[in-house]
Structure 1
Amino acid sequence: MAFTAGAAVGVLGGMIGLGGAEFRLPLLIMLGFAALQAVILNKALSLVVVLTALPARLGAVPLSALAPHGDVVANLLLGSLAGAWAGAFWATRMRSATLYRVLAVLLVAIAADLIGNHTGTLHHIALAPAVVVTAGVVAGFFIGVVAALMGVAGGELLIPTIVLLFGTDIKIAGSLSLAVSLPTMLVAFARYSRDGSFAVLRRHARLTGVLALGSITGTIGGGLLLGVIPDAVLVPGLAVLLALSSIKVWRHATTG
């Protein structure tokens, strides 16, 4: 069941070019994990998926194509690393009910972002270099916070940010987002490791492994199915799924 659930989530994410962590988080909560435990478990699984995606992504977009954009990665990391540490710190200090509500709101925000990214056309915004650097740090910080709070890689926020601020090609932006996500996730993971809830990974090591295998398999399968279902049908459907999941997560604030 865990493998099937992980694979299903991976397929959903893979069909829209994401890792599926946004869909995995509410699933973990519905499986009975407390909010912070679900976030930590989701972060661990997201880290595995990103590490798996990197080699595959390099086959399509080689390092030689990414090297000229190292300044973009550095700019965003200036904010995202601090944001990841702050987000993980706040998550470990929040009351469980508050964290459930924060996660519910963020799921709705991700649903809106999903629709916006797939129904509109991203265009580079021409700004002065100093403004771009400042905006990159600020955006990186908030993306780091959201990624840490939800246990996701943050690609759904990083990719449009890279395209809008830096005018990067969408395929290159996808690979650059992984380069930003990996160290950002490691920082959040390190902060979470200092909290008692981190023990959930040891207590459920077998389940984590099966979910990880299912997620990787599903993500690859979803990537192969990319384009089979028209975006006009797929994206609104997934957005509705996230919205419904947010309602269930919100209810945990009073019942869980």
Structure 2
Amino acid sequence: MIGLGGAEFRLPLLIGTFRFGALDAVIVNKAVSLVVVASALPFRMGTVPLADLATQWNVVLNLLAGSLLGAWFGAGWATHLASRTFFHLIAALLALIALVLVTLHHPAAATPLLTGTAQMVAGVAAGFAIGIVAALLGVAGGELLIPTLVLLFGVDIKLAGSLALVISLPTMLVGFARYSRHKAFSVLAENKGFLAFMALGSVVGTFVGSRLLGLVPSAMLMPLLALVLVWSAVKLWRHD
């Protein structure tokens, strides 16, 4: 419904409830997130048509220019990094974005924060940072892409959700390809049944969420996204 891969909910559960190790949880998270993103995009087209997405091709390419490179580097670092401090930093960042969304931006506004060359440079930099975060945590990156699209480019919140999915898919595939070179990638083969059930439930969820998208006003999506970010921040801050 929002345009996320659901990984911000899933990661704390994989680590805390299902007892996966940090790197294993990230790889499983990314695999399921790929299913969510790939299924959510066509489901949402009834509300956000392909023609609307096509008009924003320059924004997509701007962010992808940074996110693909960031995803490759982030996945490489993740195979060597398991720092609690990192989770605290991400939690603080998510909470800060939530604060910005609910205090500084009205969902009906469409004024980009920057324009021209400054916007392009900021888009590549933001994409690179988002790619790193997406790869390190196994998330689709929508929790950072959507605020970036809304605040930096002035995109409507519902359109931003679909654009985030378009950007997330290739970004995640790059990170996934990088993870496949590490021995920890075997966690997918070792948990095929678990993955199948989680993926099936995720597809059902994306279908239901896409149907709700046309019924939920844009004014409700921004606070809802902020709540998701705060919830995720709390769960990640408590991560051991």
**Global fold match (TM > 0.5):** yes
Instruction: Name the CA distance, whole Å, in 2 between partners of 1:177 and 1:240.
Output: 19
Kindly indicate whether the alpha-carbon contact (under 8 Å) linking 1:155 and 1:177 is maintained by their aligned counterparts in 2: yes
Equivalent residue, structure 1, for 2:86: 102
Residue identity opposite 1:105 in structure 2 = L
Identity %: 53
User: Which has the higher mean CA deviation after the structures are superposed, 240-249 or 43-52?
Assistant: 240-249
In the alignment, the residues of structure 2 paired with residue 207 and residue 77 of structure 1 have an alpha-carbon distance, to the nearest angstrom, of 31
- Residue 4 of structure 2 corresponds to 18
SS at structure 2 position matched to 1:143: helix
Aligned length, in residue pairs: 232
Q: 1:72 to 1:43 in 2, by over 3 A?
A: same
Out of 24, 28, 37, the position equivalent to 2:14 is 28
Contact 1:18 1:156 in 2 (8 A): yes
Task: Give the CA deviation at 1:241.
Answer: 3.8
CA contact (8 A) 1:115 1:239 kept: no
Q: What's the counterpart of residue 86 of structure 1? A: 73
1:205 pairs with one of 185, 192, 201: 192
Q: Within 5 Å, give how 1:1-12 maps onto structure 2.
A: none
Kindly indicate whether the alpha-carbon contact (under 8 Å) linking 1:75 and 1:137 is maintained by their aligned counterparts in 2.
yes
Q: Following TM superposition, by how much is the alpha carbon of 1:18 offset from its aligned partner in structure 2, in angstroms?
A: 3.1
Residue ranges of structure 2 left out of the alignment (5+ in a row) = none
Q: Distance in 2 between matches of 1:138 and 1:200?
A: 32
8 Å CA contact retained: 2:35, 2:202: no
Per the alignment, in what secondary structure is the counterpart of residue 238 of structure 2? Answer: helix
Query: Is 1:245–2:232 an aligned residue pair?
Result: no
Match of 1:8 in 2: none
Contact 2:67 2:127 in 1 (8 A): yes
Counterpart-to-counterpart distance in 2, 1:190 and 1:172: 28
- Give the CA deviation at 1:140: 0.5
Larger deviation, residues 190-199 vs 210-219: 210-219
Structure 2 counterpart of 1:114: 98
Q: 2:112 aligns with which of 86, 103, 125?
A: 125
Q: Any gaps of 5 or more consecutive residues in structure 1?
A: 1-13
- The answer for the alignment partner of 1:75 in structure 2 is 62
